[in-house]
Amino acid sequence: MPFLPGLTLSRRFHDEVVAPLLARRLPGLRYAAGLLDGGSELLGLDTPRSTDHDWGPRVQLFVADSAAVGPVRAVLEELPAAFLGWPTRFAGGPDVRLGVVRPDGDRHGVGVYDLSGWLRGRLGVDPADGLDVDDWLSVPTQRLAELTGGAVFHDGLAGALTRTRDRLAWYPDDVWRYVLAAAWTRVSQAEHLPGRCAEVGDELGSRVVAAGVAHDLMRLGLLLHRRWPPYDKWLGTLFARLPGAAPLVVALSAAFGPGGWPDRQAGLARALETVAGWTNDTGLGTPVDPRVRPFHDRPFLVLDAGRCAAALRAGIGDPALRARPPVGAVDQYVHSVDVLTRADRARRVAAAVLPGTPVSPPASPA
């Protein structure tokens, strides 16, 4: 069957099948619908390869009253077995998105949720209640990328779903400065290490450390352009699409090519200088000289990235936030998928690192 991008397929499934069914069987139902729960299709990056698992006609339905969840789920049992040739039943269903899409799956791909409960399950907080600094710093950016990506197919809850996405569009400026400063702090702690590894003949170690610096620079590039860094699988793809990123892609590709330390250093230096320039362009802090320089009296070129971090921190208006340790948001110091995909775990970790973050478990989706 011909491939359709997942967002297109799911929008048509809602418009041509789900919405008419609800209008016929539950007239007057107020609901919102979209595709916001994860997957490459939310970023427009799915391909025919994506269809081998966890992909197909899917929709999330959100209701304002949890009492409506049961009746809506009952009506959805009438959904057809296929749509445009694609099976609508999943092994595992919409709440356990680990199975292969197949005609004999045990659950259809339409989940029904109380909107506030679903948001608490994904984020640990309902944005309608407001987002404080601790809330922002406990939510992984990949979750924000999902919720602000994807698509809303229908918003019959007086625009509540659309307003939620608007609230999550980007950090408040002070939080943005703090997160960027934390990222530059990470770079400052490692930018001199690839040269030292290479100097003692540890080419593998040099490459590994340099790759970590490159990873931080790529996330920084997205953050500086007000783009939520996604799951690592798509980090390089979205980074390469940033305005002006092409020379950085060339530089970093050269840094990790077959050449030795001189090529690696040259590529990293170009990347450091460019991302420092992007930081200056935001106007979030006093501009710094974006040129690399020797690390003390050693023959390694570095940006001295702590200068960028200091300039950003100095621009933070909230003195309590400015005084925090420069660790940043939870996904700047945690890389476990099993933590970052569970809001309760992410919030507990954030609370342990930065006391003050609420740790009450989020409500489970209805």
SS3 31: strand
The confidence score (pLDDT) of residue 1 equals 74
Please choose, from the candidates 245, 241, 194, the residue with its C-alpha nearest in 3D space to the C-alpha of residue 217. Answer: 245
Question: Any residues with CB less than 8 A from the CB of 19 and at least 6 apart, and which?
Answer: 33, 153, 154
Q: What is the CA radius of gyration of the chain?
A: 23
Answer yes or no: are the C-beta atoms of 78 and 23 closer than 8 Å. no
The confidence score (pLDDT) of residue 65 equals 85
**286: phi then psi, degrees, rounded to nearest 5:** -65, 130
Residues of the chain with pLDDT under 50: 93-104, 359-366
**And the tokens for 250?**
């060339």
Please choose, from the candidates 40, 45, 41, the residue with its C-alpha nearest in 3D space to the C-alpha of residue 240. Answer: 45
- What is the rounded CA–CA span in Å between residue 17 and residue 11? 10
Answer yes or no: are the C-beta atoms of 196 and 300 closer than 8 Å. yes
pTM summary value: 0.91
The confidence score (pLDDT) of residue 104 equals 46
